Amino acid sequence: MAVQTGLGEPRGPWFISPELDPDGRGWWDPPEREPGGRRSGRLLAVLGVVAVSAVSGALAGGVVASRDGAGGPAAASAAPVPAELVTAAERTVPGVVSVLAGGGATGGSTTSGSATGSGFAVDDQQHLITNDHILAKGGGGPVTVELPDGRRFAAEVIGREPRSDLAVLKVPASAGLTPLPLAKPGATRVGEPVLAVGSPLGLAGTVTAGIVSALDRQVRLGNNQHSAVQTDASINPGNSGGPLVNARGEVVGVNTAIATIDGNGSIGIGFAIPIDQVQQTADTIIGKGG
């Protein structure tokens, strides 16, 4: 039987599809038949899901890019990147930060009881949105954010909302982060191109591309049911709390979890908290906390 392990140790709340058994197991009957015409047995699979905040590893700067030469085989077969996505990436990366919570947040490395993830600026007051499970994994310890230019700031926790897995941080005005525009609620469409931006595995400023695979996907994160945006943009540990943006550079959701099979990595099924819920929760937290 497959073991629900995710990417190494479980990170953040588990995701369980409502269509699976209560223990998180599902099955499918593959179309192939064994020799002799007998259909092979049921293949038990586990959608082991981890909210994707990395628990260990120091941050490393730089955008992940292809190393293939201009005339190599990959270049010959690759489709050109739409210009609007390039522009959206250029506009988004300066407003995205790495979030370090817990024991190692101020010491330059992560330790047991610490966690790393991503976040992004939403206003000129330097409020940042991130995932609550990052702070929870950090055990309520100090929170530090690292900017795209490498500067670090101690962050104030303005408020947390575990049920929605959202939290709001604030850094000093001297950080000068560029706030990201938010998409209008209800404007996101299935099939539209999106970018996931964050610090997967500590690689700050990483951009991955995909599409919106589904809307209003009912998933369970921890003990709470969520209506999520599903995407096939590659999301990995450390992307938690980072933005999912459309081709106009508008945030359509906050990257929160991935589905895995038998503990493998990203399989092109990721989930983001929809922007309407994000905005409502963030406004409430900021209104209460300042």
- Phi–psi pair at 210, nearest 5 degrees: -170, -155
CA distance 36 to 3: 31
Domains of the chain plus CATH, in order, are 1-99+178-290 (2.40.10.10)
**Other beta carbons within 10 Å of 37:** 6
Question: pLDDT per position in the chain (290 positions), as tens?
Answer: 333 333 333 333 444 444 444 444 332 222 333 344 443 333 333 344 445 544 433 333 333 333 344 444 444 445 566 788 999 999 999 999 999 998 655 544 445 568 899 999 999 999 999 999 999 988 888 999 999 999 999 999 999 999 999 999 999 999 999 999 999 988 999 999 999 999 988 889 999 999 999 999 988 776 778 889 999 999 888 899 999 999 999 999 999 988 877 665 667 789 999 999 999 999 999 998 76
Catalytic residue among 133, 213, 266, 276: 133
Per DSSP, which regions of 222-278 are E strands? 224-231, 243-246, 251-261, 270-274
Closest by Cα among 153, 162, 159, 100 to 133: 162
Angle (nearest 5°) at CA 162 between 159 and 168: 30
Task: Report CA-CA distances (Å) from 154 to 146, 171, 274.
Answer: 9, 7, 28
The verdict on pTM exceeding 0.85 is no
Catalytic residue at 133? yes
CA distance 117 to 200: 8
Task: Report CA-CA distances (Å) from 69 to 74, 86, 178, 208.
Answer: 8, 19, 33, 20
Catalytic residue among 226, 240, 266, 276: 240
Whose tokens are 């209008």? That residue is: 184
Label the pairing between strands 152-161 and 166-170: antiparallel
Three-state secondary structure readout of 270-287? EEEEEHHHHHHHHHHHHH
Angle (nearest 5°) at CA 275 between 236 and 263: 20
The token pair at 44 is 């038990």
Catalytic residue at 53? no
Catalytic residue among 165, 213, 226, 266: 165
Catalytic residue at 240? yes
The pLDDT of residue 112 is 52
